[in-house]
């Protein structure tokens, strides 16, 4: 079994975004973001690494939740932080 397979077992493909209107932390502090990422473990919505606050990556570093999905309309990709690969 590949390492990524173990990380895929930690995701919920039917997850619902906790804050569908934007980055959870940016909404709280009134900050802007560039693109949004959805944590497939818990539904956290965070801003991408091109955003000033990089909340999606900070969420991974604080929780260890391995896989995100783009939360941008028309985008359909997933990223594993642990293995540093697109899925």
Q: Which domains does the chain have, with CATH numbers?
A: 3-86 (3.30.40.10)
For residues 41 and 84, what is the distance between their CA atoms, to the nearest angstrom? 17
- The band of 3, judged by pLDDT with boundaries at 50, 70 and 90, is low
- Tell me, what's the pLDDT at 79? 95
Output the pTM of the full model: 0.90
Alpha carbons within 13 angstroms on the beta-carbon side of residue 84 total 0
Structure confidence by residue, pLDDT tens digits, 50-85? 999 999 999 999 999 999 999 999 999 999 999 899
């Amino acid at each position: 079994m590949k390492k990524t397979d173990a990380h895929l077992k930690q995701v919920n493909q039917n997850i619902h975004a906790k804050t569908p209107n934007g980055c959870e932390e940016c909404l709280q502090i009134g900050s802007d973001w560039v693109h949004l990422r959805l944590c497939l473990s818990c539904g956290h919505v965070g801003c991408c690494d091109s955003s000033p606050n990089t909340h999606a990556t900070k969420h991974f570093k604080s929780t260890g939740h391995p896989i995100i999905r783009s939360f941008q309309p028309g985008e359909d990709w997933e990223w594993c932080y642990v293995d540093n690969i697109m899925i």
